[in-house]
Structure 1
Amino acid sequence: MRLPLIITLACCAILTSCSKYQVNVISSTTGKEPNKETGNYEFENDSVRISYSFYGPDAPVTVNVYNKLNQPLYIDWQQSALVIGDKAVSYVPESISLKGNISAESYSYLRNNKGSIFNPTYTDGSVNAVANLPKTTTFLPPHTQSSNTTVRLTRGFIEVPDTAFHKIRMIERLQDTVALTKVNTALFTPDNSPLTFRSYLTTYTVADGKNIPVVYEDKFFISRTLKTNSDPKHLKEFSNQRGDYFINSKATGYGKTMAVVGAAAVIGTAGAITDSQNAKSK
């Protein structure tokens, strides 16, 4: 009787995997190409090297700053922001991260009062946690670097009209098989992109007791969007993690429905097996 349950579980695994994916490729408005190996966008001068990576669900913005100077450099995160469209999002999070654990013990007391038994419970506990305060300034000694990831570009799929898509052929690898597959793709310019944004980063050095600020502004836009029902990691172009694109996914309505049906089937199968075993034991 184990075989029906195994088959049912396998069906559930297949059905609940029904998802659709959206891949968004990010470009610089200056036409600068990303790093060939990492896909990160790098901007540098004689003082600093600033790189950006957007890989991950909802495009976490990772800012890395390398101090090329022979003197300390400060990053003023409170005077820096990610500007998405016309909305400025501070690099300093508004909430405080609290991580820890709670330990508790319960005590029961029995008391006989005129034949009645009372059993009240008392709990004594303690909290052991660490609050991570938002970082407003980063101190960089000469020739050192630091990364910061506090902001995400999106919350789920970016809205792109169906009329913007056309099918292109891309190389897909499934185990030992390599083939061409058609993928819905939309191309954009900075003028018609569904998402444009810029990073406004403030740094400063100290001379004669005075802060000397320097502002760096880098602009980006989504230049290409792909949508597919297959995991984009099977596509050759997106098989490696790179900083110039990000992937979002969500379950389809069919997948959600069949997940419920599959769960019910598992329960039903399990119940049938139990009934069968009980019958045998009798």
Structure 2
Amino acid sequence: MKNNILLIASLILISFTACTSFQFTSLQSNLLNLDSNYFLYQDDTLEVKYSFAGRNCPLQLTIYNKSDDPIFINWEQSAVIINGQSLPINPLNSIMSSRSQTSTYAIGNHYESSSSISNGVIEHSDRSGFVPPNASITINSYNLSSGFINTTLADSTQKVYEESALRTVTKHFFTKENSPLKINCFLTYNNNTRTQKNYIKSEFWCASVYKTNYQSYNNRGDQYFVSRSSVAGDILSTAAIVGVAIVAVKADLEYDDECCHER
């Protein structure tokens, strides 16, 4: 009975670890990269943070309005461009938080006021693009990449110790010119009168790639990962699961047989 339990545990372990590969891609940009947590754009009005942390390169934007007037992100005239293909930035949900005291502002001929609550968070799915004065809104968009990067055209390759992988890996490096993945984010925003349009173009590209069978996750805003399992791994995983079921039934029958003899 004890041997059967050990065999079940071993088969379960095999089923979850067999032949799964993870590829980690690090991005570079024309923007500031602050401690690998996010890329930063800022001007006199806006501060925009870009993060791609997680599985399949999820795009997250945090837009902070530094001014004393409201602004409006024009989502219809904003886009994310992946290797030349333009896609809309479609905010699925957002989190709004404020850093300021109560303020009054004008929209056309109407005056409205906005007040903030310290550490207050509001979740909504508003596509208006409205960002209050001295407040921020976080947009979670869709995943930008789910496939493995082709490393055959890498500019250089070398073995390095990667802290996120906790081991030495073969790392493939790319330049901006030969990068197999290029991401451009194009944002359009208006001031409170909605008359003056402003444009922000931010560029990102694949700088390095490495593959490992060890999954680690460090929530770096300049890095994302994808995964895949081989056909052999799928077969082995299925066989392991079937084996678990067979061994479990066999163990159950043996247990019942032991009980019958005891009676």
What residue number does 1:125 align with? Answer: none
Structure number, greater radius of gyration: 1
SS class of match (2:40): strand
Q: TM-score, normalised by structure 1?
A: 0.73
Residues 156, 174 of structure 2: 8 Å contact kept = no
Aligned mates of 2:154, 2:147 — CA distance in 1: 20
Aligned mates of 1:91, 1:135 — CA distance in 2: 13
Q: What fraction of aligned residue pairs are identical, expressed as a percent?
A: 22
Identify which of 229, 233, 258 aligns with 1:255. 233
Q: 1:34 to 1:206 in 2, by over 3 A?
A: same
Q: Deviations over 1:199-234 (max 9, x none)?
A: 000110133xx5221111111101111112222x2x
What residue number does 2:21 align with? Answer: 20
What residue number does 1:202 align with? Answer: 188
Q: 1:133 to 1:49 in 2, by over 3 A?
A: closer
The residue correspondences of 1:32-51 to structure 2 (distance < 5 A) are: 32-36=31-35, 39-51=37-49
Residues 187, 223 of structure 1: 8 Å contact kept = yes
Q: 1:271 to 1:151 in 2, by over 3 A?
A: closer
What residue number does 2:141 align with? Answer: 150
Aligned mates of 1:24, 1:272 — CA distance in 2: 45
Identify which of 166, 178, 182 aligns with 2:157. 166
Q: Deviations over 1:146-205 (max 9, x none)?
A: 01112221123233328767341305699xxx8xx4312111111100101100001101
Residues 41, 53 of structure 1: 8 Å contact kept = yes
Residues 154, 173 of structure 2: 8 Å contact kept = no
Quote the offset at 1:2 in angstroms: 4.1
What residue number does 1:108 align with? Answer: none
Q: TM-score, normalised by structure 2?
A: 0.78
What residue number does 2:117 align with? Answer: none
Quote the offset at 1:133 in angstroms: 9.6
The residue correspondences of 1:201-220 to structure 2 (distance < 5 A) are: 201-207=187-193, 210-220=194-204
Q: 1:230 to 1:162 in 2, by over 3 A?
A: farther
Quote the offset at 1:76 in angstroms: 1.2
Aligned mates of 2:12, 2:157 — CA distance in 1: 33
User: CA-atom RMSD, angstroms?
Assistant: 2.7
AA at the equivalent of 1:87: Q
Identify which of 171, 174, 177 aligns with 1:191. 177
1:8 aligns with 2:11: no
Aligned mates of 2:162, 2:53 — CA distance in 1: 21
The residue correspondences of 1:12-91 to structure 2 (distance < 5 A) are: 12-18=12-18, 19-28=20-29, 30=30, 32-36=31-35, 39-91=37-89
Aligned mates of 1:26, 1:172 — CA distance in 2: 16
Q: 1:137 to 1:159 in 2, by over 3 A?
A: farther
Quote the offset at 1:141 in angstroms: 1.3
Residues 146, 226 of structure 2: 8 Å contact kept = no
Quote the offset at 1:271 in angstroms: 2.2
Aligned mates of 1:81, 1:46 — CA distance in 2: 22
Residues 5, 266 of structure 1: 8 Å contact kept = no
Gapped regions of structure 2 (runs ≥ 5): 94-122
Gapped regions of structure 1 (runs ≥ 5): 97-131, 234-238
